[in-house]
Amino acid sequence: MTSCHNYESLPAARRVAIFGGTHGNEMSGVTLVNQWIKNETEIQRPGFQIKPFITNPRAVEKCTRYIDTDLNRAFTTENLSAEKSEDLPYEVSRAQEINRLFGPKGSQEAYDVIFDLHNTTSNMGGTLILESSKDDCNLQMVHYVQNALIPMSCSVLLTEHPTLKYAASRSVAKRPVGVEVGPQPHGTIRGDVLDTMKKIIKHALDFIQLFNEGKEFSPCTVDVYRITESVDYPRDKDGNISAMIHTDLQDRDWQALNPGDPMFLTFDGRTIPYEGDSTVYPTFINEAAYYEKQQAFVITRKETLTVKGIRVSQA
Amino acid sequence: MTSCHNYESLPAARRVAIFGGTHGNEMSGVTLVNQWIKNETEIQRPGFQIKPFITNPRAVEKCTRYIDTDLNRAFTTENLSAEKSEDLPYEVSRAQEINRLFGPKGSQEAYDVIFDLHNTTSNMGGTLILESSKDDCNLQMVHYVQNALIPMSCSVLLTEHPTLKYAASRSVAKRPVGVEVGPQPHGTIRGDVLDTMKKIIKHALDFIQLFNEGKEFSPCTVDVYRITESVDYPRDKDGNISAMIHTDLQDRDWQALNPGDPMFLTFDGRTIPYEGDSTVYPTFINEAAYYEKQQAFVITRKETLTVKGIRVSQA
Ligand SMILES: [Zn+2]
Ligand SMILES: [Zn+2]
C-alpha cells in the first residue's frame, strides 16, 4: 500500500464472499444466497472469485435466528482459538469452520471482502454497516453504491466503538461489509426488501470490478451514522419490559430525535421523552431480535468522513 | 332462546374471558393480557365476570409461537379426550387444562364469550374472526364494534368452512371471537397495533354490557369475508419455496385480486398471475407463521349477512 498526496494504491480484491443465513430467519439474504449457489450467473464478475455461502445452515433449516448462540457475535479470539470439542455450542464450532474457510481472521490469507446479508424488522431501508472510518476502499465502495442507488437512499452505520462493535461473521475478512435491509418480519420474504438487497450487492460487485480493472476513484466525503449508545426498554422491578417504542419514534430510523421528543410509552400510558442534550439519530428501532439483547434501539451521531482517492496497485 | 319476528331473545353473557399468548410471540395480546392481569380496571364492567388469561405461558416465556405443537389447532375432540400422560405434547395437556377452566367445549357450563388476541405479520389491520354465520349475537357485536371504530375499519373473517376451520383455543367458548391485528412482526410490540387491539376489546365489552343491561339491537347487515381456499407458495421438485408474494399483492390484504393480477414472483424473475375465474379477496398475505403451514395467503369471498335483532331474555 503506497500513499501519494491524497490517493492510495491498494491491492486488487481477488476473493470475495457473500454470506447469507448468519441469522437463519432473515430470509432475503438466505433466499438470495441459496439462489446464487444454484446459479452464479447474476453475481459472476471477470477477474475475481465470488463465493455465495450459507453460514448457519442448521438455523436456516429451522428458520430460527440461531441454534445455541448468536453466530454474529461468535467470532471472538477466544471462540476461534477454543479447543475443538463436542461440548462447544454449534455456532462456536461453525465459527471456527468459517474462519478456516474464509480467514484466518486478521491474516493475509483471509478473504478480501465479505458481504454479510441481514434483515431487520426496523424501518432502516438499505443499510451498509462498516467497522472502520479508516478503510478508504470500503468507504469508496459505499460512496459508489449510494450514488448508483439514487433516488433510493442507503445509510451507513459505523460500528467503530470500543464496546458496541461486535465479533461478526464478516469480521473474518480483511474488509467486512454488513448489508442490513428492512423492514421485513423475520421468517418472511418481502419482495421490496429482497430487491433492495440484490441491488446493493450488484453495485458493490460492480465497484470491485471497476476498481480491480484500474478505474481511479477520486477523493470524496461520505456521511455516516456513528453508533454511540445502546438504549434498553424501561423495565419494572422484576426486569420485565414496562414500555414500548412510542408511536412517534416507531419507523423513524435515521431521523432526528431531539431532547424532549417522545421515546417510549409505558403500558400504563405515560410518555417518556428523550433526555439527552443534543440531537441524535436512532436506528435498529424495535428490532425483534434485540429484545433479548435488552436493546430498544441504538443511538447514532451523524458525521462526514473525508475519504482518500484510491486506485489499484500494479502488482 | 325465543324468536319473535326477526328478533331473538338471548341469555345475558355472564362469563367472558380474554386470552393472550395462544401464540407466545404475538406480543400485543401478551402485553395487554399481562397488563390486565396486573390491573383489571380497564376491562372491568358491571354485571359480568371478565377473566384475562395467558393460554400458553411456556411459549410466552420463550417468546416463540409454541413449544411442541400449535395450541391454536389443539382443541380437537381427540386431544381434549386424550388420556392424561407425561408423553402428551405440552400444548395438548395445556388445551385439556384450558378446557377444564373455560369449557367443557360444547357444554352449557362453557364460558359465554372468549376473545383470543392474535397478531399477524400481514397487513390485515384490525380483524374479527368468527366461526359461524348464524351467531346473531356475535354478528351484532361485530356490527357494534365496526361502528364504534369508525373511521378505522375492522374486517370480519368468517372461517365457516368444512376443512379450513380449525380447533382454536377460543372454540372452548359458546361464542368464540378471534381478534387478529397486524402488521406486527412476531416478537415485537408496535404501539399502533396494540392500540387497535385495545380499542376493539373496549368496544366489544361495551357491547356485552349494553346487551346485558337490556339494550335492544335492531336487525342489521354485516359484510364478511368468507374463507374459501388456502394458497401455498409455488415450490420446486424438492418441495422448497421457489417464489415470493408479488410486490403488487404484498400488503394488499382485503383488496380485490382479479383474474390475471400478479400473485407470485419466482426467484428467477417470472410473474405468476392469479388464474381463478372471479374476483377474490386475499388475506393473511405473507404471514410468517404460515410458511410452515404451506400457506402463502387465504382466499376469501365477500358476502353480506343479514342479522336478526337481539335483546336479552328476562331470566
Ligand atoms: Zn441479522
Ligand atoms: Zn396467532
pLDDT digits (tens, 9 = 90+) for B255-305: 999 999 999 999 999 999 999 999 999 999 999 999 999 999 999 999 999
B177 vs B313: CA distance, rounded Å: 22
Prior bond to B259 cis, omega within 30?
A: no
Please say if the pLDDT value at position A3 is more than 70: no
* Alpha-carbon gap, residue B116 to B129, rounded angstroms: 9
List the one residue out of A154, A156, A141, A128 whose CA is nearest residue A208.
Answer: A141
Q: Chain B: give the shortest CA distance to residue A187, in Å.
A: 5
3-state secondary structure of B306: strand
Peptide bond into B262 cis (omega under 30): no
C-alpha A45 to ligand 1 mean position (Å): 26
Q: Among A188, A245, A292, whose Cβ lies nearest the Cβ of B191?
A: A245
What pLDDT score does A162 carry? 86
* A125 CA distance to ligand 1 middle (Å): 14
Q: Over range B93-113, report the average pLDDT.
A: 97
Predicted confidence at residue B84, as pLDDT, reads 87
- Is residue A124 within 8 A of residue A192, CB to CB? The reply is no
**Which residues are within 8 A (CB) of B305 and not within 5 positions of it... i.e. 6 or more apart?**
B133, B139, B221, B222, B223, B224
> Is the Cβ pair B31, A286 closer than 8 Å?
no
Residues of chain A in contact with residue B270, where contact means CB-CB under 8 angstroms, are none
Model pTM score: 0.95
Residue with cell 493475509: A108
Residue B190's contacts (CB-CB under 8 Å, 6 or more residues apart) are A244, A245, A250, A286, B28, B184
Question: How many CB atoms are closer than 10 A to CB B229?
Answer: 14
Is residue A1's pLDDT more than 70? no
Q: Indicate the residue of A188, A246, A288 with minimum beta-carbon distance to B187.
A: A288
Average pLDDT over residues B55-72: 97
Confidence at residue B4, expressed as pLDDT on a 0 to 100 scale: 56
Mean predicted confidence (pLDDT) in A129-148:
97
Contact A186 B288 (CB under 8 A): yes
Chain B residues whose CB is inside 8 A of the A185 CB are 121, 183, 185-186, 288
- Tens digits of per-residue pLDDT, B203-219? 999 999 999 999 999 99
- Helix then strand then coil, in percent of chain A rounded to 5, is 25, 30, 45
Distance between CA atoms of B74 and B166, rounded to whole angstroms?
9
The whole-number pLDDT of residue B280 equals: 98
Which contiguous run of DSSP H or E holds residue B62?
helix B57-62
pLDDT for A312 equals 97
Residue A180 known to be catalytic: yes
**How much is the average pLDDT of B92-108?**
97
Determine the distance from the C-alpha atom of residue B278 to the mean position of all C-alpha atoms in its chain, rounded to a whole number.
26
pLDDT (0 to 100) of residue A4? 56
Q: Confidence band (pLDDT; 50, 70, 90) for B314?
A: confident
The Cα B6–Cα B307 span in angstroms is 9
Could you give the ipTM of this predicted complex?
0.93
Give the side-chain half-sphere CA count within 13 A for A278: 4
- Among A180, A216, A275, A303, which one carries the catalytic annotation? A180
> Does the distance separating the beta carbons of A246 and B286 come in below 8 Å?
no
Per the prediction, chain B carries an average pLDDT of: 96
From the CA of B161, how many Å to the nearest CA of chain A?
Answer: 27
Which of A188, A202, A248 would best serve as a mutation to test chain B binding (most B beta carbons within 10 A)?
A: A188
Instruction: Identify which ligand lies nearest to the alpha carbon of B169.
Output: 2
A25 alpha carbon, closest ligand: 1
Give the pLDDT confidence of B14-53 residue by residue, as tens digits. Answer: 999 999 999 999 999 999 999 999 999 999 999 999 999 9
Nearest ligand to residue B121 Cα? 2
